Amino acid sequence: MMKYLYFHRDSERGVKGTFEWLTDEVEELGEALQGEDKEATEKEFADVIAWLSSLANLLGIDLEKAALNKYPHLCPKCKKAPCECTF
Ligand SMILES: [Zn+2]
């Protein structure tokens, strides 16, 4: 969806500029976590995943596939679900 909506604009901005937007949004999420406004926090989560998706799209990376390859419904370290790794 993000590719359909924004790929043309993301392409003009480029990887560096898009990464900077992502880091700004992560900072905003951090600020939202300091408060107690769940709706605002939810919106910041949406912004982070949107910009992460835009960055992945620019690099030709399928974010869902990448996540499932690394985390195939079990922990990549202990191979259990739920994870049983010790801290
Ligand atoms: Zn584990």
For the chain, the domains span: 2-70
Cα 31-53-60 angle, rounded to 5 deg: 145
C-alpha 65 to ligand 1 mean position (Å): 20
Global pTM value: 0.90
C-alpha 41 to ligand 1 mean position (Å): 27
- pLDDT above 90 (res 87): no
pLDDT at 18: 97
Q: How far is CA 36 from CA 25, 33, 44, 45, in A?
A: 18, 7, 13, 14
Q: How far is CA 44 from CA 6, 16, 79, in A?
A: 18, 21, 31
Could you tell me the pLDDT band of residue 1, with boundaries at 50, 70 and 90?
very high
Topology, domain 2-70: Helix Hairpins (1.10.287)
- What CA–CA distance (Å, rounded) separates 49 from 31? 16
Q: In this predicted model, what pLDDT tens digit does every residue of 52-85 receive, in sequence order?
A: 999 999 999 999 999 999 999 999 999 999 999 9
- What CA–CA distance (Å, rounded) separates 10 from 2? 10
C-alpha 70 to ligand 1 mean position (Å): 12
- Whether cis (ω within 30° of 0) applies to the bond prior to 82 is yes
pLDDT at 71: 95
